[in-house]
Amino acid sequence: MMDTVLPLNTWKRFVNEGTLDSSRISKQISESWYRCKKADINPYQHEGTNILSKQELETQKEKNKSLFNVAQPNIDRLYDSITSLGMMALIIDPDGYVLSVSGNKEILYRASAINFVEGIRWTESEVGTNAIGTVLQIGEPIMITGSEHYTIASHYWSCAAAPIRNDNGKLLGVIDISCPVERSHPFMLGMVTSVAFAIERELSVNIHKDEKELLQKSINYLESKELVAICNNHHEIVFTSHSLRERFMTFIGTKLEDLQEFGLTIQLDIPIYSDQRHAHMIGRAIYLKDQLTLKANSFFIPSVEKEPFLFKGETGTSEAFQKALVEMKLVAKTDASVCIYGETGTGKELCAHSIHENSSRKNGPFVAVNCGAIHKELIASELFGYVDGAFTGARRQGYKGKFEQANNGTIFLDEIGEISESMQVSLLRVLQERTITPIGGTKEIPLNIRVIAATNRNLSQMVHEGTFREDLYYRLHVYPVTVPSLRDRKKDIPHLIRYFCQKNTWDIKIPDEILLAMCKYDWPGNIRELVNMVERINILVQGGVKHPEQLQHFLPSLFGSKREKLAFEKSSSDSSTNVRHTEKLTLRENIQKEQMIQALQKTNGNVTLAAEYLNIPRSTFYKRIRKFNL
C-alpha cells in the first residue's frame, strides 16, 4: 500500500458513493473534489491527454516569453538539488500548459508514463484535483500527495505548486515541484513558494527597467506635435505627447482600447524594442487621429471589462479586423452560440479558439471538427461516438465522440454548411436537448458545452433555398461574427508578415517593391496564401535569390501579368536612372527628404508605415525615394 497522507479508502468512498468525511481532508482539496465530481471528471483516468504539438508549444512559450525568460534561470539554479532529491520542477502558464520540465532523469521517465511532460495541459478540468490545476483555481500555494489527487493518474505522486503574479495581482503562471510519493517531503511547499516569490520580484524589477527604458526611447515621440500615446505591453497608456496632454489630462493608466470613447482612432502603431535583454518589445507608440464627430458605423467597446482580449495571432491595425475583434470580445464573456462567417483561409478557427480562450470555459477542452472533411456516413459516429460492438469495424471499448470530448468546454463545427439534411436533424436535437446518445447505446450523456460554428457559405441563402434547416440556423446564428478577407484588411499585411517571420524564425526582409505588389494583390487564398508566399520568399532568400528582379520570377501571382511586370521593370529602371543622375534639390525638397528620412528611421525602414506616418500616398513616397536617391 502506498504511503500517503490520506487513506485510499477515503478517496474510494467519495468517487463511488459521493460521501466524504471532511475531518480527514483539507477544505481546499474537498472543494476541489466536489468541483471535479460536478464536472464529471473520470477519477480512473490514467494519464493526461491534452498535449500540444511541438509548434503549438513554441507558440505558447512565445506567448509567455517574459515569464519563461525569468522563471527558467531560477529553476535551473535548483537543478542539482532537485535531481539529487529525486524530484522534478515545472513551469506552467496561466492556461495550465506545462512550458518546461527539468530534474532527475529517472523521475522524468516515470512522469512520462502519465504524460506529465512539456506541452501537457494539467488543469482540474483535464486531470482532476492536482497541485497545478488547483492553484490555478484557488490562486494559493498548495501541496497535494497521493490519493488526495482526484484521478489515479497522480496517486503515486506528491506535488507542490505556487502561483506567480505581477504587481497588479494578475496570475502569470505556476511553479511546481513534483516527485514520487515515497520521496515526498513537506519542505517542497516552502521551496516552491520561495522560488515563485523570487520570480515575482525579478519580474517586477524587469517591468520597472522596461518602463524606464520605454521613457528614454519615447522622448522624441513625446516632443511630437502629433497626438501620441505610449503604451506598455499590458496595453496601458504610460506616457503621452504634450499635444495630447494639453487636450486630455486623464489618459495615464487608461487602456488602449478605451481611447475610442474619446473620439480617437489609431492612425499608426509602432512597436518599441529594448536595446537590452533579448531585444524584446517593451511598448508601442500610438499615433492617434481625432474624430470630432464619430462616424455612424464607428465602433468602440466601453471600459467595463479591463481584461484585454487575448488573440493568438496578429491583430494588425485595420478597422475591418479591429471591428471583428470587438465582436469576439463582446461575445467571449457570454455562453451564446456563435456563427463565424468568412472566406477560406481567413483564420476562422483561430478566431473561434480565441473566443474560447477568453471565455469562462478557457480551462476546458476546445475540440475542432471539420464537418466538410468527414464522410457523410461517418459523421454521426465522429460527433456522437459509439459503444463497443455498435457496428462492424468499431473500436473495442467504443469511441468517445467529439461532443463528449468537448464537454465542459467548446466544440467548433467548421464548414457547418456542408452537413447533410439528416445530420442537421440530429445536430438540432443535440442543441435543443443538450444530451447525446452514442451509436448503439441507450444511455443519454448530458452535455455542458458551447457551440461555435463557421462557414464560408451564406447560411441565410441556404435556408431560403431549402438546403439548410431554418430552426438549426437560428440555433447557431445567435451571434454572428464576420472575419474580413485579406483584401479588406491590406493595411495589416506588413504586420502579418512580421508576425509570421518572428513565429517561424524566418530571417528575411521583404523588398519594398514586393511589399507594394502584395498590398495591391487581391489574395484569393487570404492569409493562408500570404503565409505560403512569405515561406516561399524565405526559401528563395536562403537559397541566394535576394534581388527583387530575381524574386519576381518566382511570384507569378504577384507579377504574372505583362502590365504588372512592365510597371515593376519601369520602377527598377527609374530607380537606377535616379541613382546615376542626382538632381540639385530645392529648399522645399530638402525638407521633404529630411522628413522622409526621419519617418523611415521611426518605422525601422518600413515604407508603408513611413508613408502613413507622413500622411502621403505610398506611390508618392516611392516617387520621392527615387527622386531623392534614398
What's the confidence (pLDDT) of residue 121? 95
Residues 497 and 615 in one domain: yes
- 209, part of any domain: no
Residues 457 and 518 in one domain: no
Cell numbers representing residue 39 in the block: 464536472
- 435, part of any domain: yes
Residues 535 and 466 in one domain: no
- 550, part of any domain: yes
Residues 459 and 519 in one domain: no
Distances, alpha carbon 109 to alpha carbons 34, 106, 117, in Å: 31, 5, 9
Number of H helices and number of E strands within the chain? 27, 16
Q: Classify residue 175 as exposed, middle or buried by CB count within 10 Å of its CB (0-12, 13-18, 19+).
A: buried
DSSP for 406-456?
TTTSEEEEETGGGS-HHHHHHHHHHHHH-EE--BT----EE---EEEEEES
DSSP for 494-553?
HHHHHHHHHHHT------HHHHHHHHHS--TTHHHHHHHHHHHHHHHHHTT--SHHHHGG
Q: What's the rounded Cα separation, in Å, for the pair 402 and 373?
A: 14
Q: Per the structure, how many domains does the chain have?
A: 4
| End-to-end C-alpha distance for the chain, whole angstroms | 78
What's the confidence (pLDDT) of residue 507? 86
- 91, part of any domain: yes
CATH of residue 80: 3.30.450.40
Domain containing residue 369: 319-484
- 499, part of any domain: yes
DSSP for 251-284?
-TT-BGGGGGGGTEEEEEEEEEE-SSGGG-EEEE
Q: What's the rounded Cα separation, in Å, for the pair 171 and 399?
A: 37
Residues 180 and 248 in one domain: no
Q: What's the rounded Cα separation, in Å, for the pair 169 and 284?
A: 23
Per the CB < 8 A criterion, the answer to whether 389 and 408 are in contact is no
What's the confidence (pLDDT) of residue 19? 85
Which mean pLDDT values do the consecutive 10-residue runs of the chain (630 residues) have?
65 88 84 92 92 90 88 92 94 95 94 94 94 94 94 94 87 95 91 93 84 80 79 80 68 67 75 69 81 39 54 85 90 92 94 94 94 82 81 69 93 93 90 88 89 94 92 90 93 88 88 83 93 91 81 81 42 42 58 77 73 76 79
Helix (H) or strand (E) segment spanning residue 25: none
Residues 442 and 585 in one domain: no
What's the confidence (pLDDT) of residue 252? 63
Residues 501 and 612 in one domain: yes
- 313, part of any domain: no
What's the confidence (pLDDT) of residue 563? 39
Residues 269 and 346 in one domain: no
Residues 498 and 424 in one domain: no
What's the confidence (pLDDT) of residue 247? 63
- 567, part of any domain: yes
CATH of residue 266: 3.30.450.20
Out of 178, 202, 226, pick the residue that ends a domain: 202
Residues 73 and 100 in one domain: yes
| Amino acid occupying residue 256 | L
Residues 33 and 142 in one domain: yes
Residues 104 and 161 in one domain: yes
Q: Which residues pair with 163 in a beta bridge?
A: 174
- 129, part of any domain: yes
Out of 484, 500, 523, pick the residue that ends a domain: 484
